[in-house]
A and B are shown apart, each in its own frame.
Chain A
Amino acid sequence: MTAVMTRPPIHQRSLLQQSLTVVWRNLLHIRRMPEMLLDVTIQPVMFVLLFAYVFGGSIDVPGTSYREFLLPGIMAQTIIFSSAIVALGLTSDLEKGIVDRLKSLPISRSSVLVGRSLSSLIHSGIGIVVMSVTGLLIGWRIRDGLINGVLGYLLLLLFGFSMIWLGIWVGSLMRSVEAVNGFMFTVMFPLTFVANTFAPTQDMPTWLRVIAEWNPVSALTAACRDLWGNGLPPSADAQWPLQHPVLASIAWSILFTAVFAPLALAAFRRRSRD
């Protein structure tokens, strides 16, 4: 055994530094298992191609091409799924004892969650970039100026932030990665389909149309279309959220954060007490 080195004094790092260390670790995971990125790369690209070229021909969109109409919907879907990414990562770490390892260290316990959230946003961000590039290749454009273009992306980010709380809540409640997968996909698929993401809501039966137009995913999609100039504004008889999509998206984001953040923190704390 070599001589024991004398340990220099420990300086407690800030929450941000600790969280960034956790982010570093989470990103290493992605590097080791690039297939983790399939959910934000190949999968949505498949969706784009499938809808744009298979269904696109038979869906009539007023005022623009179907591909241009589709892209904001796919972006919204990608952001909604960030909740599943957070939940899967958190449950997996809880299951494997990594969270316990981190909790046994003299660090702020929030850094586990902050780090997880930041890396999930990066994860989803990669998806948004991939979608934007795919969109540009098939003819999607931002047609309403740079500022509105950026605002659209910021809105996606804000919505993604509120989805993270949902992810932490679900991740803390579920006991296994399989359970998270099952739950998230059962909830997320209808949520992203019963909306204006892939087809306009006008032609739906009235009852379904009301549900679809009040679906938060629709507000976010409509807001992006509005800001990016991808198509005509919704018809005058659409529900309130579609008449004011940007405002509605911000309101939904705030509401989700207000509801899910306390639930998420309580569930994580409860899980952490045992």
Chain B
Amino acid sequence: MSNGPAVEAIDLVKQFGTNRAVDGVSFVVPEGTVLGLLGPNGAGKTTTVRMLTTLSVPTSGTGRVAGYDVIKEPAGVRRSMGLTGQSATVDELLTGRENIRLVGRLYGLPTKYLHKLADELLERFLLTDAADRIAKTYSGGMRRRLDLAVSLVASPPVLFLDEPTTGLDPRSRADLWEVLRGLVKDGTTLLLTTQYLEEADHLADEIIVIDKGKVIAAGTPTQLKDEAGRASVVVTVSAVTDLPRAAELLRQHTTEVHVEDVSRRLTAPASGLGDMTRIAGVFAESGIEIDDLGLKRPSLDDVFLHLTGHRAEQTDSDTTEALTEQEAVR
């Protein structure tokens, strides 16, 4: 096997009737890194994963996984990767242990080894107690963990995760992230699709944003945020009466200052942490009492809005955020 990239998408296109679900997607995932494929529902994320995992044949273009071409060498691709999530799932009527054994047997793993491996995987994914219960009785989080355990049976170097945490509560999501970080530490390459900007931000070394089947942005989470706008320093003073003086002080050190009376907040552009500590020092000397001082970077949600003109997701937290913004404006 070459030492090249673990996953490569080369101008992938998938056409369903008149609908171009994926329209010329290209990217590279270097070995041992995490790529986040970010986009709203129907953006073409799952179809891209299905093509790279040989479940769906590209209309044109191709992909490579661990050096194997998805069209010409699908068997090699299947030997080198595991797939979890929306695209492939666990068998509800089989127990956790049986799910692992089913896949292990199909791989052709020796029975004795497989039995030990099943115990180990079940323990590692905190499923030992539920090992002999059918998967139908599992909670959402347990099911995802089992799904992940099953896709790790042959310890594949590359793992595809199609919306691994969709529908999970925050606690289960955080647990799963922890597991995924562990896998990356052991050298596994991950490609994960997600609708959650926070998830891509947490896990991915590199993010590809896709919308309507096309790549609309690529880069590290920080790069993408920088693209959406500069960081800013936000100072909240304790007393409204201090606002004019604080604004005057801030104006001497930065280019422009935005004042919000209601929230007693002042916002000024900053290039990074250096600016923030400098300004913190200035306020400490001035004797103006402040409640809070911090650096605000644009979130990936801002990035998405900036790139597409629409939000990536419409969750409760978004609505609350939007409300807070409105209040702040008033």
Query: Which residues from chain A sit less than 8 Å from chain B, CB to CB?
Result: 1-2, 4-5, 7-8, 10-13, 17-18, 21-22, 24-25, 28-29, 32-33, 96-98, 100-107, 111, 272-274
* Contact yes or no, A105 B110, CB < 8 A: no
Query: Which residues from chain B sit less than 8 Å from chain A, CB to CB?
Result: 16, 50, 53-57, 75, 78-79, 81-83, 86-94, 98, 102-103, 105-110, 113, 116-117, 120, 123-124, 134, 150, 154-155, 182, 186
* Contact yes or no, B88 A28, CB < 8 A: no
Provide the bound-state CA to CA distance between A21 and B99, in Å: 12
Q: Using known A-B contacts A2-B120, A33-B93, determine if residue A100 contacts B88 with beta carbons closer than 8 Å.
A: yes
| Chain A residues, CB < 8 A from B109 | 7-8, 10
| Chain A residues, CB < 8 A from B90 | 101
| Chain A residues, CB < 8 A from B123 | 2
Instruction: Choose from B79, B87, B93, B116 the contact partner of A5 (Cβ within 8 Å).
Output: B116
Provide the bound-state CA to CA distance between A100 and B150, in Å: 13
* Contact yes or no, A28 B57, CB < 8 A: no
Provide the bound-state CA to CA distance between A18 and B88, in Å: 19
* Contact yes or no, A103 B102, CB < 8 A: no
Q: Using known A-B contacts A12-B108, A96-B89, A106-B79, determine if residue A273 contacts B102 with beta carbons closer than 8 Å.
A: no
Min CB distance A118 to B, Å, is 15
Instruction: Choose from A4, A24, A96, A105 the contact partner of B107 (Cβ within 8 Å).
Output: A105
What are 29 A-B contacts defined by CB distance under 8 Å?
A: A5-B113, A7-B109, A7-B155, A8-B110, A8-B113, A10-B79, A10-B108, A10-B154, A11-B108, A18-B106, A24-B105, A25-B102, A28-B98, A29-B93, A29-B94, A32-B134, A96-B89, A97-B87, A97-B89, A101-B88, A101-B89, A102-B106, A104-B54, A104-B55, A104-B82, A104-B83, A106-B78, A106-B79, A107-B107
| Chain B residues, CB < 8 A from A11 | 108
Instruction: Choose from B55, B93, B154 the contact partner of A103 (Cβ within 8 Å).
Output: B55
| Chain B residues, CB < 8 A from A98 | 89, 91
| Chain A residues, CB < 8 A from B124 | 1-2
Provide the bound-state CA to CA distance between A97 and B102, in Å: 15
| Chain B residues, CB < 8 A from A2 | 120, 123-124
| Chain A residues, CB < 8 A from B134 | 32
* Contact yes or no, B117 A5, CB < 8 A: yes
| Chain A residues, CB < 8 A from B53 | 104
Min CB distance A125 to B, Å, is 21
| Chain B residues, CB < 8 A from A7 | 109, 113, 154-155
* Contact yes or no, A28 B108, CB < 8 A: no
Provide the bound-state CA to CA distance between A7 and B105, in Å: 14
Given A28-B98, A97-B87, output 11 extra A-B contacts at Cβ < 8 Å. Answer: A2-B124, A21-B102, A32-B93, A96-B92, A97-B86, A101-B150, A103-B55, A105-B78, A107-B106, A107-B107, A274-B16
Query: Which residue, of A17, A18, A105, A273, has the highest number of chain B Cβ atoms within 10 A?
Result: A105
Provide the bound-state CA to CA distance between A183 and B186, in Å: 50
Provide the bound-state CA to CA distance between A272 and B92, in Å: 22
Provide the bound-state CA to CA distance between A18 and B78, in Å: 15
Min CB distance A218 to B, Å, is 38
Name which residue of chain B comes closest to A274, CB basis.
B56
Min CB distance B238 to A, Å, is 48
Instruction: Choose from B87, B102, B107, B154 the contact partner of A100 (Cβ within 8 Å).
Output: B87
Name which residue of chain A comes closest to B89, CB basis.
A97
Provide the bound-state CA to CA distance between A25 and B106, in Å: 11
| Chain A residues, CB < 8 A from B108 | 10-13, 17
Q: Using known A-B contacts A11-B108, A97-B87, determine if residue A106 contacts B56 with beta carbons closer than 8 Å.
A: no
* Contact yes or no, A97 B186, CB < 8 A: no
Q: Using known A-B contacts A10-B79, A12-B108, A13-B106, determine if residue A100 contacts B113 with beta carbons closer than 8 Å.
A: no
Provide the bound-state CA to CA distance between A151 and B221, in Å: 71
Min CB distance B222 to A, Å, is 30
| Chain B residues, CB < 8 A from A102 | 106
| Chain B residues, CB < 8 A from A105 | 78, 103, 106-107
| Chain A residues, CB < 8 A from B55 | 100, 103-104, 272
Provide the bound-state CA to CA distance between A24 and B93, in Å: 13
Top 8 closest pairs, chain A to chain B, by CB: A101-B88, A97-B89, A106-B78, A13-B108, A100-B88, A104-B83, A32-B93, A106-B79
* Contact yes or no, B155 A273, CB < 8 A: no
* Contact yes or no, B93 A106, CB < 8 A: no
Provide the bound-state CA to CA distance between A2 and B122, in Å: 11
* Contact yes or no, A104 B78, CB < 8 A: yes
Provide the bound-state CA to CA distance between A90 and B108, in Å: 23
Provide the bound-state CA to CA distance between A220 and B99, in Å: 40
| Chain B residues, CB < 8 A from A106 | 75, 78-79, 107
